[in-house]
Amino acid sequence: MIEPGDPFTFGEVYDTNGPAVMASVAECGGEPKFLGILPDDYSKVRERVKVALEDSDIVISSGSTSSGPGDLFYRVVDDLGEPGVLVHGLTLKPGKPALIGLVDGKPIFGLPGYPTSALMIFHVLVAPIIRRLTNMAESRPDTVVATVPLKFFKARGRRELLPVQLLTAPDGGFIAYPMQSGSGAISSFSMADGFVDLPETQEYVEEGEKLKVQLFGRGISPPSLVTVGSHCVGLDIAFSLLRENDSSFLGRAINVGSVGGFRAVGRGETDFAGVHLQDEETGEYNLPFIQRFHLERSASLIRGYDREQGLIIKRGNPKKIHGIEDLIRNEVSFINRNKGSGTRLLIDMHLTKLASSRGNDLAPLTRQIRGYSYEAKTHSAIAAAVRNDRADVGFGIRTVAEVPGLEFIKLDDEKYDFLIPTDRMNKKSVVAFLSLLKSKEFSDALQRRAPGLTVNSQTGTVLFQPGFKN
C-alpha cells in the first residue's frame, strides 16, 4: 500500500481509506491526524496505536481486522489496556470484520480494509459518535423512496447496506440500481448516491419493489446524460470528451449488459443504451431485437462503431491458447462475462457451434470449462483477471487487452450501437453525444486511445426510427 501520488508499480495499491476517513472525520466536526501507513509488524502497529491513544480522543484504523494469522489489530487492542476488544465481527455486509474497542476510556474503531466496507462502517457506526462528541447538531439523513428495476439476491443471514445509484423515473419518482461490484471497488462506490438497509431475514429483492434509500449527501445532483446498458471503453472516452467540451457535463453509466439496456429503454429509465446483440440466425446486430423487446414505437437505433472481440491471454501465451476449443482443456482457466451482456451471448454462440461440431449440447460442454460460472461485469475486469493470474483466458474487446500489455486473438467484428428512447432524441445532452459520434475528434480519440474500436461510414446515422427505416 502506498500514498496517493507516489510512483505506482505492479502489486501496489493506493491508500484511499486514509484520505477518505480523514475527510469524513472533518465533516463530522473532528480534527483528524493521519499517522501513516503501517506494515504488518506487531510491534510497529502497537507502538503507533499507543502514541495515537496518548494524543487523541478516538483512534480509527483500517485493515488487519479479520481473524487470519496475518491480522494484527485485534491483538494490539487487547494488549494495550482494559477492557480491550468489545466487538469483533458484525452480521453485516459490507463490514463483517469491523472491530470496536475501548482502552483507558478511549474508543478504538478498526474499519475493514476494503474501501466500501470501511466507509460504510464509518458512516453508520463511527460518524454518529464523533458528531455527538463534537456537539455537532444531529440531523436526519435525507431519504427517498425508489423502485428497484430488477430482481437480485442479497447476503443470506446478514444485514446488508447496499450502495445504489439513483435515476429519475418517467413518473418523476426514483429508480435504484444496486451496485454489487464488491467491497474493494472504490470507483464504483464513489458513484453511489446512497444505500438501502436490507434486514438479515430478507434473502432477495423483487423486481418493482420499493425501498427507502438513505442518501450520502444532501439532495441528488441529476446527471446530464445517463446510459444503462453494455459497458464499453469507447463510451468512457466519449464522456471524457463531452466533459472537456462542457465542464458542467456529468455523465453516468450503469453497466447491466445489452439485454438490460434494451429493457431500461423500454421502461424509459435511460437516455440511451449501448448495445451489441447479434441475431444468431441472420448475424445482424441489434436491429432484430427492437421487435423482440417490443420497442418499435418507442425507440430509435443509431449506428455506433466497430469493435474487435476475441480471446484475451497472457503475454507470451504460456498455455498455448489458439481458439475457442482450448477453453475446454483441463489446465486452462477461463473468466466469463455476466449473463445478459452481448459478449456473453457471443461467447455462448461460439461454444454452441463448438458443441454442435462435436455432436453435443452447450450445457455439457460448459461443464468442462474451468471458470465458466465465474463472471465479470466489464471488459476491463476480464483483462484485470487475466493480468493478475486469476484466469488464463477471457473474452473481450481488443482495447482492454492491448492497453495493459496482454495479447489478443481476434474472433469477431461486432457493431456497438446506441438505442435511444425516441422522446429523448432532442434532449440537449443526447444531441451533443450524437454530434460527437460523427466528429473527427471522436474518431481520432478512438484511434489514439482505444485500439480495436473504429468508426465506420454509418457511425452516427439512424438505423431505425418508429414509423420508418433508414
Average pLDDT, the chain: 91
- Which residue, 104, 133, 162, sits at the end of a domain? 133
Task: Evaluate whether residue 12 is within a structural domain.
Answer: no
pLDDT by residue (tens digit) across 221-251? 778 999 999 989 999 999 999 999 999 999 9
Identify whether the C-beta of residue 232 lies closer than 8 Å to the C-beta of residue 416. Answer: yes
pLDDT by residue (tens digit) across 243-288? 999 999 999 999 888 999 999 999 999 999 999 999 988 989 999 9
Residue 400 is placed in which grid cell?
Answer: 482492454
Identify whether the C-beta of residue 64 lies closer than 8 Å to the C-beta of residue 70. Answer: yes
pLDDT by residue (tens digit) across 147-195? 999 888 888 889 999 999 998 888 888 999 998 665 556 666 778 889 9
State residue 377's pLDDT score: 83
Average pLDDT, integer, range 133-138: 84
Q: Domain total for the chain?
A: 3
Handedness of CA 430, 432, 436, 441 (dihedral sign): negative
pTM: 0.81
How far is the C-alpha of 334 from the C-alpha of 331, rounded, in Å? 10
- Which residue, 174, 197, 215, sits at the end of a domain? 215
Tell me the C-alpha to C-alpha distance, in Å, between residue 5 and each of 16, 38, 311. Answer: 11, 17, 34
Q: Does 275 share its domain with 380?
A: yes
Q: Does 265 share its domain with 366?
A: yes
3-state SS, residue 41 = coil
Residue 445 is placed in which grid cell?
Answer: 480519440
Average pLDDT, integer, range 447-451: 94
* Domain region containing 380: 225-469
How do beta strands 143-147 and 92-93 pair?
A: unpaired
Determine if the peptide bond prior to 141 is cis (ω within 30°): no
Q: Does 352 share its domain with 310?
A: yes
Q: Does 240 share its domain with 207?
A: no
pLDDT by residue (tens digit) across 351-399? 999 999 999 999 999 999 999 999 998 888 899 999 989 999 999 999 9
Task: Evaluate whether residue 122 is within a structural domain.
Answer: yes
How far is the C-alpha of 359 from the C-alpha of 367, rounded, in Å? 15
Q: Is 89 left (phi over 0), alpha (psi -120 to 50) or beta?
A: left
CATH value at residue 417 = 3.40.190.290
Task: Evaluate whether residue 4 is within a structural domain.
Answer: no
State residue 181's pLDDT score: 61
pLDDT by residue (tens digit) across 334-344? 999 988 888 99
Cα diameter, the chain: 77
Q: Does 259 share its domain with 300?
A: yes
Identify whether the C-beta of residue 122 lies closer than 8 Å to the C-beta of residue 111. Answer: yes
State residue 187's pLDDT score: 63
